[in-house]
Amino acid sequence: MTTALEAQGLTLAYDGRVISTGLDLEIPHGRITAIVGPNGCGKSTALRALSRLLSPREGRVLLEGEDIRRLGGKELARRLALLPQTSQAPGGITVADLVARGRFPHQHLLQQWSADDARATSRAMAATNVSELGSRGVDELSGGQRQRVWIAMLLAQDAPVMLLDEPTTYLDIAHQLEVLELVRALNRDDGRTIVLVLHDLAQAARYADHLVVMSDGRVAATGEPAAVLTEELVADVFGLEARIVPDPVFGMPLVIPIASRAGADGG
């Protein structure tokens, strides 16, 4: 198993507050990785560091073996795309125009728009089922539609590595599954390496090939969901007494909560 993205010995901090120290993390090539953990454990911070939005105090991040600090902005964007937790579209922008912005890393000073850009944008909109929404304003759409449009923009960016920070937040269960099924199709059909930050352990177990469990700014466990998700780990990391049984439909680990352990930190 080759590694697409790797963090080596990262120390990460915000405003003087250290979140992670000595963080090591490997993202396997061509697979879906889900990063899970309790609130405040450093999941989103780690994703920001992997995308170069946050510079580590110590350590480095390698993209296909290259230090991302040495890559130019457009080169990095051609190889790695990020969908943050909250994405704000400019007022009045249409779906087609927003998706087209994903092509910026591929454009040049003397050629702002090309046939390749048009084809990539069209393919991205078709793959995410937003082609019929092209002329509509992004601010007119439902939450599930907007999330598909943002993913279409990432897809138009045509980066082989995609990072999505809590892409199902604020969506109802039907739209959550719609987004996760789309993510899986992008992985299976295009071979993209995809990293998701998720809260729902059942969804992580169902859709991820590789699981990273974080706790207190460190990696507590990593591997295939069936091997990683144990009752002991759920108790230690999430402060939750639970039973884990095979999902009756998909066979993946299904976490059945029983009780929150007294004194567990849910912050």
Instruction: Encode pLDDT of 206-234 as tens digits.
Output: 999 999 999 999 999 999 999 999 999 99
CB 28 within 8 A of CB 210: yes
pLDDT for residue 266 is more than 90? no
Distance CA 90, CA 157 (A): 18
Average of pLDDT values for 126-145?
92
Q: What are the residue ranges of helices labelled H in the chain? A: 43-50, 73-79, 95-100, 115-127, 143-157, 173-190, 201-207, 225-228, 231-238
- HEC states along 104-168? HHHCECCECCCHHHHHHHHHHHHHCCCHHHCCCEHHHCCHHHHHHHHHHHHHHHCCCEEEEECCC
To the question of pTM greater than 0.85 for the whole model, the response is yes
pLDDT tens column, 165-182: 999 888 889 989 989 999
User: What is the model's pLDDT at position 86?
Assistant: 79
Distance CA 79, CA 71 (A): 10
Residue with tokens 């138009």: 156
User: What is the band of 41 on the pLDDT scale with cuts at 50, 70, 90?
Assistant: very high
Residue 109, judged by CB atoms within 10 A of its CB (0-12, 13-18, 19+), counts as exposed
pLDDT tens column, 76-125: 999 999 999 877 888 889 999 999 999 998 887 666 788 889 999 999 99
pLDDT for residue 26 is more than 50? yes
- Percent of the chain having pLDDT more than 90? 78
243: left (phi over 0), alpha (psi -120 to 50) or beta: beta
> Which of 47, 105, 117 is CA-nearest to residue 78?
105
pLDDT for residue 262 is more than 60? no
